[in-house]
Amino acid sequence: MKPIKVGLLGLGVVGGGTWKVLTANAEEIARRAGRRIEVAAAAVRDLDKARHLVGEGVRLTRDGMDVVRDPEIDIVAELIGGDTVARDWVLEAIRQGKHVVTANKALLAKHGNEIFAEAHRRGVMVAFEAAVAGGIPIIKAMREGLTANRIQWLAGIINGTTNFILSEMRVRGLSFGEALADAQRLGYAEADPTFDIEGVDAAHKLTLLASLAFGIPVQFDKAYVEGISALAQEDIAHAERLGYRIKLLGITKRRPDGIELRVHPTLIPTERLLANVEGAMNAVVVCGDMVGATLYYGQGAGALPTASSVVADLVDVTRLQAADPEHRVPLLAFQPDALADTPILPMSEVESSYYLRLRVHDQPGVLADLARILADGGISIDSMFQEPHGEHDADIIFLSHRAREGAVDKAIAQVQSLPFVKSPVTRLRVEHLS
């Protein structure tokens, strides 16, 4: 089966990330999509820089119209941002009968109705997973995962810059200005941060989510938008005292007489998962009438997470544009002829950290003997503490660094045979999930 040919509009942060993902994971992607996905052409600002990045196999041009009108191209990925040139190129791509993948929330929030109508007329797909919440597959969840539900409301942290600033203000006690300066120094905020800190970027994304939730046209101009630049440090502290954290939320809600659509700083109870989403991370809670609340969490920005969504859309279009059963979503995610026979490892080969608890007769040298056995097994200790039990005994608790389970089992057997050990050794596994 011949490869799907993609034309990239833009090779900047997201465009470059998309190139990298398609190149680095070409095999894995073909195993899933059923055919290879290749970049055949790209429209870029700097031809020399682009040539250096992508090598000789890609046709480069300065004019996006060259790409969208190229008969060889199956799918156009619009990754330049903005809503002027991007709009022209996207509309022309659709008129040329090409499927479009875009990461451009500003474009869709403002011109989505026009673009979607044109795509519907021409029978092509417009996919925009990357436009909302970066690498989190929230569009797919809304559009396909929750189709059984009347959506009641959704609330999301959908701008990483402002969430980073709010985390810094809370944890480090900084003022808004100090936290913003930090965010700019660390690359989380742009030199002109207005779109982020005033809530405009979040409102673009919320507008799209509201359309998906309620089946209404895109209506960015009706959204209420309030940012975080006026937020005082003392309100964050007061909120904490009351059991709340302040997050910039995009909220949309079904009401009997209409739909709420609003972005503003919001106090939420500290025990909610959403209140514990820190730093530049994103998360969206969607509440459906049948499923209840579901939450989706991950990196909301950055070259590779955003490209992860762009490429997922490319795979989707590749799978969906062919009608025969071979090209449906494969039952086990990968094409049946691409399954691997990678072995499942026995538990002795598994690596984990370990929690060990044992009761000992408390006498000199106990710890030294235990530590020696662990060290001989190549198991290093992360932390330990000891609790007296009765007059002569003590419970000892170890946390180990990562080790192979076979080595840990061997060490436990040796420990178990020591004369001063008075209980079976309790062993639990520890994972740091990072």
Show binding-site residues for L-homoserine: 190
Site for a copy of itself in 126-145 (CB under 8 A): 126, 129, 135-137, 140-145
119 binds a copy of itself (CB under 8 A): yes
Q: Which of residues 372-411 bind a copy of itself (CB under 8 A)?
A: 383, 385, 395, 397, 399
Which residues, listed in sequence order, are joined to residue 251 by a DSSP beta bridge? Answer: 155, 262
Residues 207-226 that bind a copy of itself (CB under 8 A): 211-219, 222-224
Q: Which two tokens stand for residue 309?
A: 């969504």
Q: Could you tell me the smallest distance in angstroms from the CB atom of residue 16 to a copy of itself?
A: 13
Of 60 and 298, CB closest to a copy of itself: 298
Q: Which residue, 60 or 315, is less far from a copy of itself as judged by CB?
A: 315
- Count CB neighbours of 119 within 10 A: 20
From the list 79-87, 180-188, 194-202, 272-280, the region that binds a copy of itself by CB under 8 A is: 272-280
Q: Which residue in the set 266, 280, 358, 394 belongs to the binding site for a copy of itself (CB under 8 A)?
A: 266
Residues 98, 111: Cα–Cα separation, whole Å: 18
Query: What is the rounded CA–CA span in Å between residue 372 and residue 136?
Result: 46
Q: By CB under 8 A, what part of segment 15-44 binds a copy of itself?
A: 21, 24-25, 28-29, 31-33
Binding to a copy of itself, residues 408-427 (CB under 8 A): 426
Tell me the window of 8-16, 43-51, 68-76, 291-299 that interacts with a copy of itself (CB under 8 A). 291-299
| Complex with a copy of itself: residue 54 or 146, whichever CB lies closer | 146
**Are the C-beta atoms of 152 and 289 separated by less than 8 Å?**
yes
- In angstroms, give the least distance from the CB of 18 to a copy of itself: 9
**Helix ranges restricted to H, 232-330:** 233-242, 303-321
Provide the annotated active-site residues: 205
Site for a copy of itself in 93-112 (CB under 8 A): 112
Nearer to a copy of itself by Cβ, of 60 and 218: the residue is 218
Annotated binding site: 9-16, 105, 190
Q: Are strands 281-288 and 292-299 parallel, antiparallel or unpaired?
A: antiparallel
CA distance 7 to 57: 13
Among residues 181, 294, 366, 402, which is the contact residue for a copy of itself, using CB under 8 A? 294
- E-assigned strands of 244-327? 244-255, 258-269, 281-288, 292-299
- Cα distance between residue 129 and residue 310, in whole Å: 7
The alpha-helical segments, DSSP class H, found in 194-262 are 194-197, 200-214, 233-242
Q: What's the Rg (C-alpha) of the chain? A: 27
Please tell me whether residue 347 binds a copy of itself under the rule CB under 8 A. Answer: yes
Report yes or no: 414 and 425 within 8 Å, Cβ to Cβ: no
Cβ neighbours for 240, distance < 8 A, ≥ 6 positions apart: 170, 270
- Return binding residues for NADPH: 105
Distance set, CA 207 to CA 212, 362, 380 (Å)? 9, 65, 52
Q: Is 47 in the site for a copy of itself (CB under 8 A)?
A: no
Site for a copy of itself in 148-187 (CB under 8 A): 148-150, 155
